[in-house]
Amino acid sequence: MSKSANCPFCKIVRGEIPAVKVHEDERTLSFMDIQPASPGHALVIPKAHAPDLLEIAEADLCAATLAAQRLARAVRTALAPDGIRIVQTNGAAAGQSVFHYHVHIIPLQEGQRIGVHGRAPAKPEELEALAVRIRGALAA
């Protein structure tokens, strides 16, 4: 069995588990983090499985990086945070919990102190409402 068979992000790409999608193209998928560190926290992944930065194909890395930039701009437009934290971790010791390369886009307000992951799952309707706003900014 391949490593991607049980990967939760690969399952999202294949439509086997739900996600609140924000944007999708040929190589990447962006969706809302189900345990957000702050409102609007989203993830960008390559559709092709790669466990981390050290193993991702160059073309997928470039596509994911450009998608992360577009998503961060849309989050800035849609949610007007004071700042945006971009996080990418490699290995359990660094805080990686899903071993499929991904980039966190985390909007922050001045003085807000957060980790990479939130402490509780978000309500699906709240994630969808934020995704609608971000999608609108991507389309603009």
Residues recognised as catalytic: 102
- What is the spatial distance between Cα 77 and Cα 123, in angstroms, rounded to a whole number? 23
Q: Nearest Cα to 34, choosing from 107, 129, 118?
A: 118
Phi, psi of 45 (to 5 degrees): -130, 150
Q: Which DSSP category does 94 fall into?
A: G
- What is the spatial distance between Cα 109 and Cα 23, in angstroms, rounded to a whole number? 24
